[in-house]
Amino acid sequence: MHDPSLPALTLLFTGHMVDTPGRASPRFPRSPAAETTARRMIADAVARETASLRGDAIGLAAAASGGDILFHEVCRERDVATRILLPLPVAEFREASVAPGGPDWSGRFDRLCRDTPPEILPADQADALAGTASRDMSIWQLGNLWLLESALALGARRLTLIALWDGAEGDGPGGTADLVERAEARGCRCVILPAERLLSVR
């Protein structure tokens, strides 16, 4: 029997950041239509996963501009508590993964962090995670591994990774494709939201 003190469902999220100005190969256009479409896709996925749920759900994600922030916002609209797990201190993460999206995303990131103080990957845990790998790992890969291990550690009856992903490899190690691959290798249910749809909306 499932321990009632544990969540019934853990939702883990990964997804593309909003495009930086002049990005050569667009993935998440900086347009209201693309954002609305992404939000609706994420909201529909969260609604499907939590339909008829008996017990509590919790969401885990980083908080980059784009998919991550939308996931936290959608979950809170549906009364699903979330945790923000960052691989870098807040100011460094904000500079690298939020500020390039523009002031609106930065403001939303700041509001999320005020409501729910982020958890930062501890150095000793990063070292321990790196020790399990067969090759050198970037901080973004370590962050993905930490997200997955943290989700698994919650011991929920169900764990689903929701990924806003175009199916392509990322710009570097540790992106959306990396976490999808890791989750699939651990036998997690993966719900892929086709991010290529964001390119065709106006």
The DSSP-derived string for 85-146 is EESS-HHHHHHHHTGGG-HHHHHHHHHHHHHSPPEE--HHHHHHHHHT-SS---HHHHHHHH
What is the Cα–Cα distance from 89 to 186, expressed in whole angstroms?
28
- Which pLDDT belongs to residue 134? 57
Mean pLDDT, consecutive 10-residue stretches, the chain (202 aa), reads 75 95 89 96 96 89 97 96 96 96 96 96 83 76 93 93 90 82 93 95 78
Cα torsion for 33, 118, 15, 47, to the nearest 10°? -70
Burial of 169 (0-12, 13-18, 19+ CB in 10 A): exposed
- Which pLDDT belongs to residue 9? 94
Token reading at 3: 């321990």
- Which pLDDT belongs to residue 7? 86
Query: Which residues are paired to 164 by β-bridges?
Result: 15, 193
What is the Cα–Cα distance from 88 to 139, expressed in whole angstroms?
8
Query: Count of alpha carbons within 13 Å of 38, Cβ hemisphere only?
Result: 31
- Which pLDDT belongs to residue 1? 47
Domains, in order of start, for the chain:
9-199 (3.40.50.450)
